[in-house]
Amino acid sequence: MTKDDEKSSIIVTEENWKDVFWQLTDVSPYLETYLKSYLQKYQARLGANWVERISQFFGFVHDEKQVEAIDYYEGNLSQFPPNAWLIFFVAKAHCYQKANYFYARHLYRQAEKELPEYPQIHMDLGLIFMLLNNWEQALAYYHQTFAFAKNDPLNEADLQAKALFNQAIIYANYFHDIPKSADLLRKALEIRPDYDVAKRALKNMKQSII
């Protein structure tokens, strides 16, 4: 994501815009690889104006002004070549702020085509399919979240634990497979021993069996 504390002191020009972009950008190696490929492919269609608009867009995201971020993207960034990194954040805003799940799913899947192993996309798609009562598809996306969590090193443990917890909820509530659910909760707690919601769920599960 962009570094807000630096952007105000940097002047973007047509000569330095790529250098400025990387100064403002702090992402995982997986996303960095994608962004390098994107800049190489579309550099003739980007430039200083694009970087300035990227900075403004993430200003809204960081300030948790998600609706404003959507409006800004549609009015100021949608005319540039589609960028899966940005589309992911727009999808997230539609999902969590507007509860526009069908359109969010459409956007997430657009981003997924370019970032097939980005775990955050799979996590959010898992949630959407849970909300749509498509348990098998939700489980598949949570499996992928767990598998690809290494591509987001700062959040790897959290993503893995949450993916296991959400799978446990599905197995317990919708497939009524309590042993499988309990096993998933224990695995989540091995990764994150401080995961209180998983502790409570496992405790309640044991009490209900007694």
pLDDT at 8: 52
pLDDT at 210: 46
pLDDT at 9: 60
Is-above-0.85 flag for pTM?
yes
pLDDT at 204: 86
Contact 199, 176 (CB under 8 A): no
Q: Which long-range contacts (CB under 8 A, 24 or more apart) does 1-5 make?
A: 1/25, 1/26, 1/27, 1/58, 1/61, 1/62, 2/26, 2/54, 2/55, 2/58, 2/62, 4/58, 4/59, 4/62
CATH 2.60.120.10 fits 117-210, yes or no: no
Same-fold call for 1-115 versus 117-210: yes
The domain spans of the chain are 1-115, 117-210
Closest alpha carbon to 166 in 203, 122, 209, 207:
122
Q: pLDDT tens across 88-145, in order?
A: 999 999 999 999 999 999 999 999 999 999 999 999 999 999 999 999 999 999 999 9
Distance CA 161, CA 171 (A): 15
Question: 1-115 architecture in CATH?
Answer: Alpha Horseshoe (1.25)
The rounded average pLDDT for each run of 10 residues, N- to C-terminus, in the chain (210 residues) is 53 92 92 97 95 94 92 95 96 94 96 98 97 95 98 97 97 93 96 94 75
pLDDT at 147: 98
pLDDT at 5: 45
